[in-house]
Amino acid sequence: MKAILGTIDDITVLHAENGHQRLLVSCSPACVVPDYTPPPAWLHDARISVERDVDDPREVGEPGDNILLTPDESQPWLCPLRVTPAVVYGHCPDTILVTMHWWETNNTPPPVTVQANGRSISSAFTRHDDSFQAEIRLADFFPHEPTLPVHLRATCHGITAVCHILPADHAFTDTVVLPDGEMCHLENSWYRVDITPNTGGGAIYTWQEKGRDVDHFARQDNRIANPLEVAGHLDGYQIHMKPASHLKKVTVANRGAWREDRSSHLRIDGSIREAVDLTTSVDYTLFDAVPLLCWQRTFSLHSQTPPVAADTLQVPIEQAWPFGTNFRTSWLVDRSETSGSRIITAYRGHLITIRHTQTYRTVHGMEWRANAGWFLIEHPLRREWMLYCYDRSRPPHLHCWLEPNVFVLAPAWPMRTLCAGTSIGITLAASVGECAGADIHGAWIGCRTIRRAGGLHCAVIARFTGQWQHGTAVITVGSSQQTCPLQRFHVRGVGDIAYGLADFPYGRMDEPFHITVPNIPQRGEG
């Protein structure tokens, strides 16, 4: 997603025929696009070579000009040290492979040092094609099978990469370092969720359904983009007349993850660089038993800055700030001539569906508020659904639009007046799955995962538009069918959510999956 913009040092013609040329371009990294940040420290004196096929050499330019690498070309330089595998579930592999994409052409990299279980072992690299590799035996660190999770930290030339060996069969939370950066990882038997601790003030970066091994926030390959702008969930706010801001300017002050009461918790606190003294915090909870993630985002205004001059007349309105909360979630768009990504909700006895076909044409819901307490987001062609639940008594206005290859949902809550010493927030609960239903009476999500003992564990998460409804869901996997009473689950700040669970000891993921919820028919593929 990120790419190196380099300054060209030298251009060599490798091949020329019929006006077509293959060029070898040598460059020095100048910045990282799209954020235009300085290149990593290890690239300050590096020289990078790439090849370009051109019809016109002016496309490349001349020494002193820029050349933009692709994300695929940039990745080995931005993350030169890699551990394979980066994440393993359930057991220690015999070995891990550390690969260094070394930038000094005349030297070999220094040895890599791997640390785990209180031990530190160095190993020399050997050349392998255009990189250097070192194979590390895990038996040297763990004389017997360790208790998971464990992390093997490889360091070379001040660069670190980590191999995470994570538990396969129980819920946990931990910090992981992935090629995309450091993530706070929440996991239960249904989902793997990665939260960015340092960017976006705690945004949801990936949300993986374990049963199907599907990431609902998958991103387009080899395209330059800010990852959270093309997929993921970002909370946001609006202060005075500025457009919505999505926590890009948060400095994280504190974070921590823990297990408590059969659920995984994560808290991130940060301060926001704004005209006022503003802080934010988010508390995530992923429940062990049900496929449901909840979080509460709060914003607190502490004092007005800069201090008011002594000779300035003070009036109450100068101490007040209009403040609104919102969020922005984006997905890779799902699209055919007559179907594709859509948002579904209920409003005054109508089932409302919004499916865009025109890029950058926003649907604004300024005249009505989405008071059903839920949005169902549907990508029917790839069979992915996401259900958002929120407080019905103070609902948001709906905003949504298409960007090139991206589908965006951005609800905004009505603004309030915030004074120093006060806080404001929203609570959300969400679920993703492989089937769903929606009607004026409510919406539901169906999800299944593989049981440790074999077979499948299936769940339905439902949100009713009106009052709580007693009922029984029928879950079918292949030719097996089970009924499960819908049970009430109260999420503070959101309200009642219904869930039903069923085990299918002989069920398989490749069998058809169907759920019946009273009054809320299952959605089709169209």
Binding site for another protein (CB under 8 A): 3, 5, 30-31, 33-34, 36, 56, 58-61, 65-68, 70, 222-224, 338-340, 342, 347, 350, 352-361, 363, 365, 367-368, 403-405, 526
> What's 509's DSSP letter?
T
CB of 290 to another protein, least distance (A): 30
- Measured CA to CA in angstroms, residue 395 lies from 206, 262, 273, 514 at distances of 26, 30, 28, 31
Cβ closer to another protein: 226 or 298?
A: 226
Cβ closer to another protein: 71 or 202?
A: 71
Say if strands 159-166 and 87-89 run parallel, antiparallel, or are unpaired: parallel
Chain-centroid distance of CA 157 in Å reads: 29
CB of 149 to another protein, least distance (A): 37
Nearest to 219 by CA among 252, 174, 185, 179: 179
Q: How many alpha carbons fall within 13 Å on the CB side of residue 156?
A: 28
| Alpha carbon distance 70, 461 (integer Å) | 41
Token code pair at residue 236: 């946001």
CB of 496 to another protein, least distance (A): 26
CA-CA-CA-CA dihedral for 508, 513, 516, 522, to nearest 10 = 160
CB of 62 to another protein, least distance (A): 9
Token code pair at residue 333: 């768009």
CB of 30 to another protein, least distance (A): 7
CB of 350 to another protein, least distance (A): 7
Nearest to 192 by CA among 184, 182, 203: 184
Sheet containing 95-100: which strands, arranged edge to edge? 81-84, 95-100, 131-137, 126-128
Cβ closer to another protein: 358 or 393?
A: 358
Cβ closer to another protein: 142 or 347?
A: 347
Report the chain's terminal Cα–Cα distance, integer Å.
Answer: 31
Nearest to 263 by CA among 284, 286, 292: 286
Cβ closer to another protein: 59 or 135?
A: 59
CB of 526 to another protein, least distance (A): 6
CB of 368 to another protein, least distance (A): 4
H or E segment at 199? none
Cβ closer to another protein: 36 or 129?
A: 36
Token code pair at residue 167: 């538990």
Q: Which residues are CB-neighbours of 498 under 8 A, at least 6 positions away?
A: 444, 460, 461, 462, 463, 464, 468, 469, 471, 486, 487, 488, 489
Say if strands 384-389 and 422-433 run parallel, antiparallel, or are unpaired: antiparallel
Cβ closer to another protein: 261 or 367?
A: 367
Cβ closer to another protein: 69 or 278?
A: 69
Cβ closer to another protein: 404 or 421?
A: 404
CA-CA-CA-CA dihedral for 261, 283, 176, 34, to nearest 10 = 160
CB distance 503 to 459 below 8 Å:
no
CB of 523 to another protein, least distance (A): 13
| Alpha carbon distance 25, 201 (integer Å) | 38
H or E segment at 75? helix 71-78
Cβ closer to another protein: 267 or 397?
A: 397
